[in-house]
Amino acid sequence: MSRLKLLIVIGIIVAFLITAWILYTKWQEIKVHGGSAPEAVSIESIEPVDPTEPIDVATPAIVEDMPTMTPELPAALNLEMVFYSQAPFSNWDYPWQEACEEASVLLVANEYNEMNLTREGFNEELLRLVEWEKSYFGSYEHTTVAQTAEMLKLEYGLDSVVHENPSFEDVQKIIANGHLIVAPFAGKLLENPNFRNGGPNYHMLVIKGYDSEKMQIITSDVGTRNGENYVYHWETIAIALHDWHDTDITLGEKLIIEVLP
């Protein structure tokens, strides 16, 4: 084989490998992150398909199985809400670096309780929550699902229901009732390219929508300034979903908090 032919063959192989890598990278991106979110609608416009009765959630009830889906569930839905990240002024020092739980709670409370927080007000309230947790729980860094539900109740008067091992259909039904979800994760398993250093060990965000045809989950991911209407594939959500665990985050229970208006 002549030198020219050899160079052509090598060029073709290199081009093929580059193309394959680009396609694989795009496939991975689609697998982890679902793409664009459907247009958001106000919570007030939602007609509940199966209203959940409020409960006393000083220690929230855990629901293992939800009723079967009903035909009224829309194929896609995205609940409208104001978004601020856990570092509303892009300062990722402490305590903001560890304030995903507080920020997620506050986003939901801001929507449900019509607090109409500005960016400055959100930041002040977030810092107040951090101090409250230090006093009430003894720390703020790794707030569990049970503690988060308690914070929602005690600080904002919001009842909630904790669901164990939720399915995509469970999430559909909750959102279709106009209820927001606060959910905990093994942060690195979310594989969000916006996270620093591969993401936090433990993370919380708000689930606000879904697309059943694409198996997408729409979130307010407070862990990034690009977190408004951030879309994950359900497979990623299901794998990464874990409550806090003292030794191994992947051993944490798969729980979500349905917050009741």
Measured CA to CA, the distance from residue 37 to residue 221 in angstroms comes to 13
Task: Indicate the pLDDT class of residue 27, thresholds 50, 70 and 90.
Answer: very low
Q: What is the pLDDT of residue 72?
A: 75
Q: Which residue has the higher pLDDT, 220 or 45?
A: 220
Q: What is the pLDDT of residue 90?
A: 96
- Whether the pLDDT of residue 226 is over 70: the answer is yes
Task: Indicate the pLDDT class of residue 38, thresholds 50, 70 and 90.
Answer: confident
pLDDT more than 90, % of the chain? 72
Cis status, amide bond into 67, omega within 30 of 0: no
Task: Indicate the pLDDT class of residue 10, thresholds 50, 70 and 90.
Answer: low
Mean pLDDT over 179-204 rounds to 96
Q: What is the pLDDT of residue 7?
A: 61
**Model confidence over 147-170: pLDDT tens digits?**
999 999 999 999 999 999 999 999
65: how many CB neighbours lie within 10 A of its CB?
11
Q: Is the dihedral of CA 108, 111, 113, 116 positive or negative?
A: positive
Mean pLDDT over 83-93 rounds to 97
Largest CA distance in the chain: 81
Angle in degrees, 0-180, between the axes of helices 100-112 and 145-156, rounded to the nearest 10: 40
Question: What is the rounded average pLDDT for all residues in the chain?
Answer: 87
Q: What is the pLDDT of residue 60?
A: 57
Mean pLDDT over 179-190 rounds to 98
- Whether the pLDDT of residue 102 is over 50: the answer is yes
Q: What is the pLDDT of residue 194?
A: 95
- Whether the pLDDT of residue 184 is over 50: the answer is yes
Considering only 16-20, 45-49, 164-168, 254-258, which range has the smallest mean pLDDT?
16-20
* pTM reported for the whole predicted model: 0.81
Q: What is the pLDDT of residue 63?
A: 58
- The torsion region of residue 184 among left (phi > 0), alpha (psi -120 to 50) and beta comes to beta
Q: What is the pLDDT of residue 33?
A: 60
Considering only 68-72, 217-221, 255-259, which range has the smallest mean pLDDT?
68-72
Q: What is the pLDDT of residue 41?
A: 83
98: how many CB neighbours lie within 10 A of its CB?
17
